[in-house]
Amino acid sequence: MALDSVMLGILAEELRRQLIGARVDKIFMHSRDAVLMHVRNENGAKRLLFSARSGMARVHLTEETFDNPATPPAFCMLLRKYLQSGRIKDVRGVDGERILFFDFDVITEMGDRTEVTLSMEMMGRYSNIVVISAENFVIDALKRIGMAQSDKRQLVPGIPFRMPPQRSGLSFLSSETGDLVERIVSCNRPLSAAVLESAVGIGPVVSREIAFRVSGDDTEAVRLDEKAIQTLTNEIEAVKRAAAGDGRRLGIVCEGEKPFEFSFIPLTQYRGLRVIEFENLSELLDGYYAQRHRTELLQARSSGLKRQVDAILERIIRRQHSREQELASTGKAEKLKLYGELLTANIPLLKKGMESAEVFDYYSDMMVVIPLDPLKTPVQNAQRYYRDYRKLITAHKVLDGLLEDGRREIEYMESVRYAVDMAETEAEFLNIRIELKESGYLKAYRVPAKKQTKTKDIYAYQTSDGFVVLAGKNNTANDRLSLRTASKSDVWFHVKNGAGSHAVLMTDGKPPTDAAMTEAAMIAAFHSEQRQSAQVAVDYTQLRNVKKAPELRTGMVVYSGYKTAYVTPDMKKVEAMRRPEKP
């Protein structure tokens, strides 16, 4: 979510307590749209991050470290000129606006004391950082906006600074709750949209939360009855109190390990998702955006590998299709054998120079016409048909073997593609690349000097009755788990006819319970390409029945003596069984 005006008010209050009087030591720009300011006061050194990146605009104290370019950008040099050695005088929010103003006491080059203001504007694609003089003129902006870009508001050096155009609506914080409610219930729109449209200062997530608490199904605002209107009034009052500090709960909602949403109130609209709570807003924003940045960076780095795997798989499938067509053409082998046999039986009736021969087929009791090469003798024509027959029979045998190899190769590459889709860390992607390199698919890839193979690549779970279940994250981990880590008496699980992790129920020599078996099957189904399906078929057998044939690729096994269970993956239940991962 984007920071709304209410959260920025909370943030301004927090930063004011921590930063008033802090001296600016250093200023860096580690990217074209982000400024990192090192400040120091009696509480020690801090790093203040300003980001005007679209979709990730924010300002907060950070514990993250960044690489600084050797040559600072021009805007960074301007900030150093005006703000270096200055002291933070105030941090101000504006009701209804997604802007924070940072006022600095600075000494000019002439030795005069003056005030310079930094405007951190967090407005989606219009996010910006603006430097403003004491006389309220624009000194410069990170993203200059002239008449060509906007006829409503310009941000270029030398012109008076003006606030962005305000949207219509009532201030959520300063307006009377009764006025807000009256305006909301007059909207012929879903309640969440009516709240967002009527109340200036809160974002979509808070609007949805208020609507969810009132009606659950986001009914139209004009259809609210008296009871619902009273609930709406109470919920707006509760959000206002939370903004003021009474009942405030700073938290990030996570979907698995990925941060999904954050707010200053409990988000009851997201059921079954994990919530991480924070003491202050800077820590929340630092954690949320750092994880988002790592996720985006990982996606960017992994996109090339995904394209490579898809290209390899597509090439294998095309080759397999070509072989299937070639195999289909070998179906006429028996016909060639028959022609050779019939010609041999009728040699006395044939002469060189004939272009065809009509002979009796004693298998079908019919006359057949056999094409002949007029340049060859009858014996040579018969021998040609026998020779072509033997070639096709040999080709058929070879193609049968190649098609079986192709099926295994497709199955293997589908498992690699699944592993790529499920990978969450750079180390996991590196291990997949190493696996493909060792399998001969990425011949040009250079493995780093230090292989990161000792990463946590096995999921660990504990069933409701205390059994441990392990599942591999990739083919290499699957092989290690099934062939070396687990014992022969443990129970092995794998989704039927699909790509997925090997899951092993560690029995420690004890008979597994029905609950443990069901939960282990659910874990295997969850870690498969069918995790979104209902009634997933999962094969299971004792590990002593799982074998590795020499011709099988990494992560591929054969198994016997198995049974099949049908389970529905339950993400919430699986996550509840999750334990620290195994290296």
8 Å CB contact between 218 and 190: yes
Question: For residue 447, what pLDDT is reported?
Answer: 66
pLDDT of residue 442: 83
| pLDDT of amino acid 281 | 94
Residue 355 near residue 428 (C-beta atoms within 8 A): no
What integer best gives the mean pLDDT of the chain? 90
DSSP alpha helix (H) spans, 330-425? 333-345, 378-422
- Residues 333-356 have pLDDT tens digits of 888 888 888 899 899 889 999 999
Which two three-digit tokens encode residue 376? 């060859």
Tell me which of 145-154, 270-279, 296-305, 537-546 is least confident.
Answer: 296-305
Cβ neighbours around 57 below 10 Å, total: 25
- Can you give the pLDDT at residue 455? 62
Superfamily designation of domain 5-141: ibrinogen binding protein from staphylococcus aureus domain (2.30.310.10)
Rounded Cα gap, residues 253 and 229, in angstroms: 28
- Give mean pLDDT, residues 99-106: 96
Contact 432, 423 (CB under 8 A): yes
Residue ranges of the alpha helices (H) in 28-103? 74-83
> Coil, strand, or helix at residue 167?
coil
- In this predicted structure, the answer to whether residue 411 has a pLDDT above a threshold of 50 is yes
- For tokens 């990739």, name the residue: 474
| Mean pLDDT across 457-484 | 92
Give the pLDDT score at 135: 96
Q: What is the pLDDT of residue 19?
A: 95
Assess whether pLDDT exceeds 60 at residue 458. yes
Q: Using CA atoms, how far apart are residues 164 and 152, in angstroms rounded to an integer?
A: 8
Instruction: Inform me whether the pLDDT recorded for 25 exceeds 90.
Output: yes
pLDDT at 583: 62
Q: In one letter, which amino acid is 115?
A: E
Q: Which helix (H) or strand (E) holds 579?
A: strand 578-582
Closest CA to 131 of 92, 93, 104: 104
d(CA 156, CA 138) in angstroms, rounded, equals 6
What average pLDDT does this structure show over 479-495? 94
Q: What pLDDT score was predicted for residue 452?
A: 47
Tell me the per-residue pLDDT of 499-509, one tens digit each, with 9 for 90 and over: 999 999 999 98
Most confident listed range (130-144, 313-327, 362-376): 130-144
List of long-range contacts for 503-506, beta carbons under 8 Å, 24+ apart: 503/469, 503/470, 503/471, 503/527, 504/469, 504/470, 504/471, 504/543, 505/463, 505/467, 505/468, 505/469, 506/467, 506/468, 506/469, 506/470
Q: How far apart are CA 26 and CA 79, in angstroms?
A: 10
Determine the pLDDT at residue 453. Answer: 46
Among residues of the chain, what percentage have pLDDT more than 70? 97
pLDDT at 543 over 50: yes
State the pLDDT at residue 61.
95
27 phi/psi in degrees, rounded to 5: -135, 130
Answer yes or no: is pLDDT of 441 > 70: yes
Section 240-263 average pLDDT: 89
Token digits of residue 19: 């930063």
Q: Specify the CATH class of 170-279 in words.
A: mainly alpha
Q: Which of 92-106, 165-179, 292-306 has the lowest mean pLDDT?
A: 292-306
All residues at 6 or more sequence positions from 373 whose CB lies less than 8 Å from its CB, including other chains: 380, 381, 384
Residue 273 has pLDDT above 70, yes or no: yes
Q: What integer pLDDT is reported at residue 432 of this predicted model?
A: 86
Domain ranges of the chain: 5-141, 170-279, 327-406, 458-582
Q: What pTM did the predictor assign?
A: 0.62
Question: What CA–CA distance (Å, rounded) separates 384 from 339?
Answer: 10
Report the chain's C-alpha Rg in angstroms. Answer: 35
